[in-house]
């Protein structure tokens, strides 16, 4: 983790964990608000078995 001026840059793992924790917490407690995680145009990326990334853009 990089440190610059005393501020730590979060790792991708930390960002992912924070997102999942918030998302599922809201989904459980207040599912009517889970839509706030999405925009009319959203991007989903995931790794394929060979390591390449597949990205899909969705529109409402």
How does pLDDT run across 21-59, given as a tens digit for each residue?
999 999 999 999 998 888 888 888 999 999 999 999 988
Per-residue pLDDT at 2 exceeds 60:
no
Q: Round to whole Å and give the CA distance between 18 and 55.
A: 21
Rounded to the nearest angstrom, the gap between the alpha carbon of residue 20 and the centroid of all alpha carbons in its chain is 7
Q: Which tokens belong to 28?
A: 């459980």
Determine the pLDDT at residue 38. 83
| Domain boundaries defined on the chain | 3-59
Q: Round to whole Å and give the CA distance between 18 and 12.
A: 10
Determine the pLDDT at residue 5. 73
Q: Round to whole Å and give the CA distance between 25 and 31.
A: 9
Determine the pLDDT at residue 6. 80
């Amino acid at each position: 983790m990089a440190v610059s001026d005393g501020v730590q840059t979060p790792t991708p793992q930390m960002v992912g964990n924070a997102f999942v924790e918030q998302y599922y917490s809201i989904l459980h407690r207040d599912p009517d608000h889970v839509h706030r995680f999405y925009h009319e145009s959203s991007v989903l990326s995931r790794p394929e078995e060979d390591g390449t990334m597949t990205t899909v853009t969705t529109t409402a």
